[in-house]
């Protein structure tokens, strides 16, 4: 869920009034947010978040909240968020903020320290209540947080708590032919590189990308790179090599700023 929607759901009319007044109109000053800090924020265990074309992905977050001793833990709602921009504020556009469906769950470590966990959902398909991923969401995000005082409706946004990436999932195939092949003759290796399109909810070929062809001789423990080729206009891959020994061929894609890396399943070739 986007942060504004969660704030409204959590605090009701107080937050709704503060968030809904147009900038051109005079509005009462919003209530002060709780005096808190977040630390040790980890989302998805520090790994990038990879989402396919249709399936919802839910990742875990953990964080520590430090508050005043007078602030009741029961009246404090907290949640980690992803955002884009210089800083997270209540005016950050919805398209530049991503949060979970529910606030975090916290346990009291001391009168001033809470240990918290939360879930953040990423939905590539249309969902009116929570919003869906679009291709524009792929790439780098900053990590922030928000705390809501349920007694007053005051909200404290927190910025620069870390960084992560939300990436489009990639798929990659490898097929060597003919099989078996006579040693010393040409072997054609085809494949296809595709990635999730969150706008159409399908996989689409990924064009003009560098992909490595790798080979591991039968009995060996490591792959070596044979050559690097570019994917075609529809993501197709095709190259030829000389078959010299039995072994495994695979394609490897290193990823981009918006798309996750992927390694194809290997295809074993019997060179006779």
d(CA 153, CA 164): 29
pLDDT digits (tens, 9 = 90+) for 249-261: 999 999 999 999 9
Q: What is the distance in angstroms between the CA of the first residue and the CA of the last residue of the chain?
A: 58
Task: Tell me the pairing of strands 186-197 and 139-149.
Answer: unpaired
Distance separating alpha carbons of residues 218 and 161, to the nearest angstrom: 47
| Range 170-269: architecture per CATH | Sandwich (2.60)
d(CA 267, CA 249): 5
Q: How many CA atoms lie within 13 A of 156 on its CB side?
A: 18
Q: What is the mean pLDDT of the chain?
A: 91
Query: Which three-class secondary structure state does DSSP give residue 135?
Result: helix
**The pLDDT of residue 65:** 99
Please give the structure tokens belonging to residue 211. Answer: 């992909």
- pLDDT at position 9 over 70: no
CA neighbor of 147 nearest in space, from 86, 94, 84, 99 = 99
Q: Which pTM value belongs to this model?
A: 0.89
Q: Is 72 exposed, middle or buried (0-12, 13-18, 19+ CB in 10 A)?
A: exposed
Phi, psi at 120, each rounded to 5°:
-125, 130
- Under 8 Å between Cβ of 166 and 51: yes
Distance of alpha carbon 150 from alpha carbon 141, whole angstroms: 28
- Distances from the Cα of 218 to the Cα of 4, 191, 214, 221, 248, angstroms: 56, 21, 13, 9, 7
What digits encode the pLDDT tens for the residues 80-104?
A: 999 999 999 988 888 899 999 999 9
Confidence band for 10, pLDDT divided at 50, 70 and 90: low
pLDDT of 132 over the 90 cut? no
pLDDT at 268 over 90: yes
Helix axes 3-11, 13-20, angle to 10 degrees: 140
Q: For the domain 36-167, what is the CATH code?
A: 2.60.40
Could you give the residue range(s) of every CATH 2.60.40.730 domain in the chain?
170-269
In the beta sheet, which residues pair with residue 176? 189
Q: What is the pLDDT of residues 204-247, one digit of tens each?
A: 999 999 999 999 999 999 999 999 999 999 999 999 999 999 99
Q: Tell me the sheet residues that pair with 188.
A: 177, 240
- 174-196, pLDDT tens digit by residue? 999 999 999 999 999 999 999 99
Confidence of residue 3 (pLDDT cuts 50, 70, 90): low
How is residue 169 written in tokens? 């999932």
Residue 58 and residue 114: Cα distance in Å, rounded? 23
pLDDT tier for residue 14 given thresholds of 50, 70 and 90: very low
- Classify 44 as helix, strand or coil: helix
CB atoms closer than 10 angstroms to residue 253: 24
Cβ 214 vs Cβ 252: under 8 Å = yes
């Amino acid at each position: 869920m986007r942060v504004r929607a969660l704030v409204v759901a959590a605090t009701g009319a107080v937050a709704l009034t503060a968030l809904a007044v147009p900038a051109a109109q005079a509005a009462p000053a919003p209530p002060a947010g709780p005096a808190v800090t977040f630390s040790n924020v980890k989302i998805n265990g520090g790994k990038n978040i990879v989402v396919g074309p249709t399936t919802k992905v839910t990742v875990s977050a953990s964080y520590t909240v430090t508050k005043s001793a007078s602030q009741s833990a029961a009246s404090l709602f907290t949640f980690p968020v992803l955002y884009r921009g210089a800083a997270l504020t209540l005016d950050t556009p919805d398209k530049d903020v991503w949060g979970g469906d529910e606030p975090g769950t916290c346990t009291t470590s001391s009168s001033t320290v809470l240990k918290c966990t939360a879930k953040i959902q990423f939905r590539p398909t249309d969902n009116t209540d929570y919003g869906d991923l679009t291709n524009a969401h792929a790439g780098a995000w900053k990590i922030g947080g928000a705390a809501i005082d349920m007694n007053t409706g005051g909200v404290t946004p927190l910025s620069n708590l870390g960084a992560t990436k939300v990436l489009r999932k990639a798929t990659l195939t490898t097929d060597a032919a003919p099989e078996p092949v006579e040693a010393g003759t040409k072997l054609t290796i085809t494949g296809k590189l595709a990635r999730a399109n969150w706008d159409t909810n399908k996989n689409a070929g990924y064009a003009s990308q560098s992909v490595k062809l790798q080979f591991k001789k039968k009995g060996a423990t490591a792959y070596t790179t044979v050559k690097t080729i570019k994917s075609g206009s529809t993501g197709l891959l095709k190259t030829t090599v000389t078959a010299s020994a039995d072994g495994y061929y695979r394609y490897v894609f290193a990823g981009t700023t918006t798309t996750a890396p992927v390694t194809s399943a290997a295809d074993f070739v019997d060179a006779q």
